[in-house]
Every structure is written in C-alpha cells, then in structure tokens.
Amino acid sequence: MIVRILGEGQYDLEGEALQALKVADAHCFEMVAGADEAAFDRAFVEVLALVRGRGARLPAERLVESDLVLPASETSLEEARKLFTSHPV
C-alpha cells in the first residue's frame, strides 16, 4: 500500500507494518473525538513514525497514486477536527 504524508511524500508499506498502522490509525482517530491535545499529538506522532520508520520512501520521480493519505505532520487536534467536521465522510 502506498501512503502519502501530506507535505512530505509517499511511502510503501506492506504486511505487518500495515496491520500496525491500522491499529495506530484507529487509536489516533479516537483521539480526534476527545479533547486531550497531548494525547492526540502522541497518537498522531506514532502514526507518522510508523509510516516513516517501517515504510520504504518512494523516489520523488515515481508517478503513482497513493492508497491512503495522512494529513501534514504539524496538524493540530483542532485542525484535525475541523478537517472532519467540514468534510463529513
């Protein structure tokens, strides 16, 4: 699976790393619903670290569509919440 971190680039994640990402992502999403900024930051940093650490970075010249997209690394809890309320999915 190709995962893009907005403002950063694309990574290729497979197998176990992808499973771990799903778990971290679900946890992070729960934090968006809460009011604990620090807890959200921790959860989001974990998601980002997983993608960067266990994914293989794609070269910039590769032209390939991402399967999944993550918001930019500096996204705050407030921005994340806004993102989801202004674009109900």
Q: Does 64 bind another protein (CB under 8 A)?
A: yes
Instruction: Decide if residue 56 touches another protein (CB under 8 A).
Output: no
Q: With CB under 8 A, what is the number of residues at the site for another protein?
A: 33
Torsion (CA) 74, 80, 82, 88 in degrees, nearest 10: 140
CA-CA-CA-CA dihedral for 76, 81, 84, 88, to nearest 10: -170
State the nearest-atom distance from the C-beta of 6 to another protein, in Å.
5
- Partners of 5 in the beta sheet? 9, 70
Q: Does 7 bind another protein (CB under 8 A)?
A: yes
Out of 59, 78, 81, 85, the only residue in the binding site for another protein (CB under 8 A) is 59
